Structure 1
Amino acid sequence: MPHDLLPTLPSGRLRTMPPRRAARGLVAAAIVAAASVTLAPRPADACSIVTSDRLVLDPAYADDTVAPGPATVATPEIVRYPANEGCTGLDCSPNFVVLRPVASDDRAPAPRLGFRLRLIGGELPHDLWIGPEPLVPDGAGEVYLYFSDDDRGFAFQLEVQAVDLNGNAGPPVIVTVVGPAVDDDGCSTGGARGATGLGLVALAGLVASRGRRRGRRG
């Protein structure tokens, strides 16, 4: 602190604080500093719920009639965390499927494109819900689909379409999502390589059956 801001005695000498009082002041300052660190918001940990944004159409693109190209989707990742004791539901066990779709458009920037998902085969894990609104990947290019704690394996197929800022949808691509069963109590991740052969065979049969029915209708 500059000397001209320090309290002074009438004689002009600087007023000093007794050592004991000064020590108490330092302790109080340290407590306040520690409290500010403790009470500061902590960054979300790996088990926090992070929702994907819905696509919002932009009037500036109202004259856009060209649909985006087909989406490219990397192999989906399955992330499972152990449930908190005595707690159930999505808030207690943030298990999720991570999709990383990308596409290009003639006008809309790639990071602003949405992706419409539709279940076409298999069975979703417990509490996983897919709505009609296109989802926009986050800054890391990821879309999260949450499901509640369930150690059983699953396999399903999604139809994925890129959607631009005027609602034009690109051609669909098929993505297979496979979650292996969990047999431990720790946080675990898995991909397609951890799936059981039975689940994949059942899913393939279901999709083939749907294809035959569509062919007969045509």
Structure 2
Amino acid sequence: MSVSLLYVSGVELQAWIDDLARLRIQVFREYPYLYQGSAAYERQYLQTYTGSGAAMAILAIDDCLPPGQQVIGASTGIPMGYEDAAFRQPFERAGMNTSRLFYCAESVLLPAYRGQGIYRGFFAGREKHARSQGCFDALCFCAVVRPPQHPLKPADYRPLDKVWQHFGYRPCPDLITHYDWQDIDQDAASAHPMMFWMKSL
């Protein structure tokens, strides 16, 4: 497979919203997110990024695929000050200055392309962008926390904790937020605990 990484930021993101929505719906349907996505929700969610003018993304592109399917992965980021209050509040309660934090929103990659170093490019690209701004002290992201015996947990599931630690991020069990979405086995949205991970710049 031949995959290239494309850096986009600011208003450039608008042209890639459909691809980001498609990938989020497809990848986050997997465990542990089990996200029952919809195009309408995605348009609303991604408005935070397109409307801010301060967001960025690293796009993984396979030019051998048909148009509309060539973006096979993406990793996004935005200054924490532009994020929803639910993401800012754990840091604000801890007395931290959210204007000094860069939020690494998501990294989504189709299964066939995993294990080829693309994920490493995602992390490196976001960190390079954050450093280039000259105004951030740390990067962070959050991940859903599921009970160990969740009924939809695959037998071969491997958490990404060791991968994140390899890239220099540390878990922050005191920094927890809750975010609502509908699980694929549920009839309505519910709150999900999400723990932050951080890395100093």
Q: Which has the higher strand share?
A: 2
TM-score (norm 1): 0.26
TM-score (norm 2): 0.28
Q: Which has the higher helix share?
A: 2
> Who wins on radius of gyration, i.e. which is larger?
1
